[in-house]
Copies of this chain bind each other. A is one copy, B any other.
Amino acid sequence: MAGNTFGDLFAVTTFGESHGPAMGCVVDGCPAGLPLDIEIIRRDLRRRRPGGPGSTTRIEADEPEILSGVFQGKTLGTPIAILIRNTSQHSADYDKLRDLYRPGHADWTWEAKYGVRDHRGGGRSSGRETVSRVAAGAVARALLAASGITVRAWTAAIAGIEAPGQGEAGFDLDEAEGNPLRVPHRETAGRILAEIERLRASGDSAGGIVTCSAAGLPPGLGEPVFGKLDARIASAMLSLGAAKGIEFGAGFKAAESFGSEQNDRPAPGCAPAVDPRRPAAPALPDGVPDIRYRTNNAGGVLGGISTGMSLEFRVAFKPVPSIMRQQETADRRGIARQLVIPGRHDICIVPRVVPVVEAMTALVLADLLLLQRASRV
């Protein structure tokens, strides 16, 4: 409630400041008996690490240590604590920021709230905080995998340059995982790369859009009316520092269209339109037929409950606020100042956000999967 715990039954608490000794998380509520290999945590952490074009040169080892909750390769039902030491802090870079508020950052709002702040690298408002989320998300993904649920995200657009969407010509999810920009279309990735080089030269930064798709969801996930699947996903995504918007399925376009266009028609017996991965025989209550839909304008959710179609949503991220240009700002005395930000920064955070979006989605789904167990007598 103080804001660092996410989830009800599958609950994650994260801790750590960017330039403090360590980051980490405690996953409370992971069911007992789940096989858990630290290697799956390492893999997701690697996917989040910098290294691609446009990413910071602060490169952490991000080696996770499981402190509790796992015994002989299986979860115990007790809290799973995961520790990731910070090892590559260059805190001196931030000395000159002690009394200056970086535009577009949370420096001043943090002080307005708490009266104090760790000025080194943004403290806990740093993107580094998401390393804890990715570690926790890897545990959630292991739980989801045991139920046949997969979560995939990719870079849909950077700086207004859009890649083909799912179902459009050229869309290639393997390509997304193969290139460091996580763009599912090689040619678009090339154009974005050129734009990033242009921005590097001009000291500027770019925003972009991440699309996420979760397949294999059983129908029935989501807790009406305030714990709806989409409400929880929206909360998860807007908890990411740079997120400025989210839309599900047809999203903002739905607001411009008509009911006759938007309603997805239930299609008994038909092959699913979007998602071949949904299990053939979902665990439906007695007497409830297995329904698919011919289209998925809803993005996989009706009335806040999963339809069994893929969950589909897009998240907008603003440009990295740390740009390599002189900016106007204010200092702790309230006086106007000029600022050039030192340190190592991403030009575009979007490719690195992809595994974080997946992790947060996995956390939401793992929680709802457990909550769903209590829905019927």
Q: In angstroms, how far is the closest chain B Cβ from the Cβ of A309?
A: 10
Decide yes or no whether A54 CB sits under 8 A from chain B.
no
Q: What is the bound-complex CA distance between A325 and B261, given in angstroms?
A: 12
Whether the Cβ atoms of B245 and A251 lie closer than 8 Å is yes
Whether the Cβ atoms of A268 and B336 lie closer than 8 Å is yes
Whether the Cβ atoms of A116 and B374 lie closer than 8 Å is no
What band does the interface of chain A fall in when counting residues whose beta carbon is under 8 Å from B? 35 or more
Q: A260-B325, A327-B263 are in contact. Are A24 and B81 (CB under 8 A)?
A: yes
Decide yes or no whether A111 CB sits under 8 A from chain B.
yes
Whether the Cβ atoms of A302 and B106 lie closer than 8 Å is yes
* Subset of 20 A-B contacts with CB under 8 Å: A1-B9, A4-B224, A9-B9, A21-B65, A24-B68, A31-B375, A71-B116, A104-B263, A108-B288, A112-B220, A207-B257, A230-B238, A245-B245, A254-B318, A259-B319, A260-B323, A262-B319, A263-B323, A263-B327, A288-B332
A312-342: which residues lie under 8 A (CB-CB) from chain B? 316-323, 325, 327-336
| 5 tightest A-B CB contacts, nearest first | A106-B303, A3-B223, A289-B334, A245-B247, A2-B29
Whether the Cβ atoms of B316 and A206 lie closer than 8 Å is no
Decide yes or no whether A351 CB sits under 8 A from chain B.
no
Decide yes or no whether A57 CB sits under 8 A from chain B.
no
